[in-house]
Amino acid sequence: MSEARIRRATLAILRLAQPRARWFLPGLAAGVASAVCAVALLATSAWLITRAAEQPPILYLSMAVVGVRAFALGRSAFRYLDRLTSHDAAFRQLSLLRVGVFSRIVPLAPAGLADTGRGELLSRLVRDVDALQDLPLRVVQPLATAGIVAAVSVIGVWSVQPLAGLTLLLSLVVAGLLGTLGSGLLAARAERELAPLRGSLTGQVLEVVENLDVLTAFGALPARLAAVRRADELLRRATLRRSLGVGVQGAVLSLFAGVATVAALVAGIPVLAGPAFAVIVLVPMAVFEVFGAVPAALGAWREVRSSAERVATAVPAEVPGEIPVEIPDQIHVDRPAARNGATVLELTDLGASWPGADAPAVTGVSLRLAPGDRVHLAGPSGSGKTTLAQTLVRFLDYSGSYTLGGVEARLLPQTEVRSVVGLCEQRPWLFDDSIRQNLLFARDTATDEDLLAVIDRVGLAEWATARGGLDARVGERGALVSGGQAQRIALARALLADFPVLVVDEPTANVDEEQGDRLVRDILTTAAEDGRAVLLISHTSVPDALITARVTLGG
């Protein structure tokens, strides 16, 4: 992706991260009111204490007493409203941002994400997207609040003593510039690197956790753990450098808060006395407490921008040509018509490629599937069998012709194609939940009786009963079930979804020969009972009695 496209995509993400004005402005108003109350409380308290020391009639102090109470209560009340409304706005916008990010990913999945590391993608979709809520909370609102309060305070002090107001203004400007410059020199690079370093660490930790058994078996675990430690050390150093910058910011602001106070003393002693003098001396302390958010907000901005850039580049700005896209005015097909006895699926000289590949993965495939057909698709490794399976469910685009019920597949909505053609993958995904939940997402209206019946059809009834029934858990990614059982659960899901065409990709890849033969026989006989068409992709032989045709790729 070019630099210009990255910038445009990053700005688009940042705009999406900033809440709408009607959500954001109430929180900003409450934040400004709370900060103004804090400054006014100190100023009013200073005036009240020094004026009371002069022992005037109580009538002259009553308004200041009421003001102190009002500003004290207002500071807390407006602070609460600020937190409530500003976080509500940020969280609302965060939900829209997540939807926006996922809407960019969905058209690319799964084929378009094959080159993206799972850990890195996880970090960008979770940590970096969450970090974008700091844009309104730690960048925009603190800068706006500090600017408004500083301006109001300078004007207020100026009205009491112009020279003190000028010194306060100069102190704020110099403190802001030096604090930002010092932080930038010490921590800017670290703040930009934090998000990528967190992503790198997350990716390496996830890789170790997912492949712990293989790494241990081949003695590669120590080297991987050393890489994780190096990534963690880099992140720790960057965090320390950022902390150093934060410390410098605090020191600069404290220094110039003292400078502003001393300058107010020097400017006020010759011309002021009593309450007014106390006000111009103490107000800078309260103003700098609010103004201290400015350098911190600029540091947060660098982190937010880095996260926005990572989110923007998580997926390509444009969908690769090998990935199908929805087109306007697509045809809607009545799904039951797929079983009217006509041809369900027909391929003519079909070809397909993976994103970024130099050459097509499969070419010249011609195939016809009608209800009840059971076709065995064979071929050597690399001949394009899995590519063809991905193409049939429209994860990949194609050349040539691919029709369903006589309608070209690219003219149909992808959801319609996938309601007719179902895929049982070589490694079916099982969620870390019960057998029931792993089946229900195929048909959420299914009853327990329906689920038990389909489990029985795929030969898992006794196994499920021994495991405790439908509530038995299958483990993370099916860790508690065997390869054959995972394939049977995937078949049960496909039967529940009632696909007219079922594509089964290498069901015997993760089981022994005896179990593989039994699994293939069960798949084909079960499908034959329902009259559905089956395309069985397998490099192993299948008895002629179980199939109606054979197709070989790369041969």
pLDDT in the model for residue 399: 92
pLDDT of residue 135: 92
In the structure, what pLDDT confidence band is assigned to residue 337 with cuts at 50, 70 and 90?
very low
Question: Which residues make beta-bridge pairs with 549?
Answer: 375
130-179 pLDDT, tens digit each: 889 999 999 999 999 999 999 999 998 898 888 888 988 998 888 888 87
Contacts of 74 (CB under 8 A, 6+ apart): 33, 34, 37
Kindly give the pairing relationship between strand 533-537 and strand 501-505: parallel
Give the DSSP per-residue string, 172-216. Answer: HHHHHHHHHHHHHHHHHHHHHHHHHHHHHHHHHHHHHHHTHHHHH
CA atoms within 13 A on the CB side of 145: 36
Nearest to 354 by CA among 398, 315, 417: 398
Give the SS3 label for residue 304. Answer: helix
Render 56-87 in DSSP notation, one character per residue: --THHHHHHHHHHHHHHHHHHHHHHHHHHHHH
Mean predicted confidence (pLDDT) in 425-448 = 87
Please give the order of strands across the beta sheet that includes 399-404.
362-369, 345-352, 399-404, 407-408
* 498 pLDDT higher than 50: yes
Rounded to 5°, angle at Cα 86 from 83 and 90? 125
| DSSP SS3 for 551 | strand
- Structure confidence at residue 111 as a pLDDT band (50, 70, 90): low
Q: Which of 98, 84, 40 is nearest to 66 (CA)?
A: 40
Taking the CA atoms of residue 225, residue 227, residue 233 and residue 239 in that order, the dihedral angle to the nearest 10 degrees is -110
Judged by DSSP in three states, 499 sits in coil
- What percent of the chain shows pLDDT beyond 90? 20
CATH code matching the domain that covers 3-312, chosen among 3.30.750.24, 1.20.1560.10, 3.90.1150.10, 3.30.1330.40: 1.20.1560.10
CATH H-level superfamily of 335-552: P-loop containing nucleotide triphosphate hydrolases (3.40.50.300)
Reported confidence tier of residue 318, pLDDT bands at 50, 70, 90:
low
Q: Long-range contacts made by residues 231-236, C-beta under 8 angstroms, separation at least 24?
A: 231/197, 231/200, 231/201, 231/204, 232/201, 234/197, 234/200, 235/194, 235/197, 235/198, 235/201
Q: List pLDDT tens digits, range 67-110.
A: 999 999 999 999 999 999 999 999 999 888 888 888 777 777 77
Distances in whole angstroms, Cα of residue 183 to Cα of each of 142, 144, 258, 296: 17, 20, 20, 9
- Can you count the helices (H) and strands (E) in the chain? 19, 9
Task: Give the whole-angstrom CA distance, residue 455 versus residue 451.
Answer: 6
Average pLDDT over residues 469-487: 83
| Mean pLDDT, the chain, whole residue set | 84
Is pLDDT of 340 > 60? no
User: For residue 110, is the peptide bond before it cis, meaning its omega torsion is within 30 degrees of 0?
Assistant: yes
Domain ranges of the chain: 3-312, 335-552
Whole-model pTM above 0.75?
Answer: no
Q: Which pLDDT tens digit goes with each residue over 249-308? A: 778 888 888 888 888 888 877 767 778 888 888 888 888 888 888 888 888 888 888 888
Quick check: 506 and 426 in contact, CB under 8 A? yes
How many whole angstroms separate alpha carbon 544 and alpha carbon 439?
A: 31
pLDDT at 338 exceeding the cut of 50: no
Per DSSP, which regions of 125-179 are E strands?
Answer: none
pLDDT of residue 327: 65
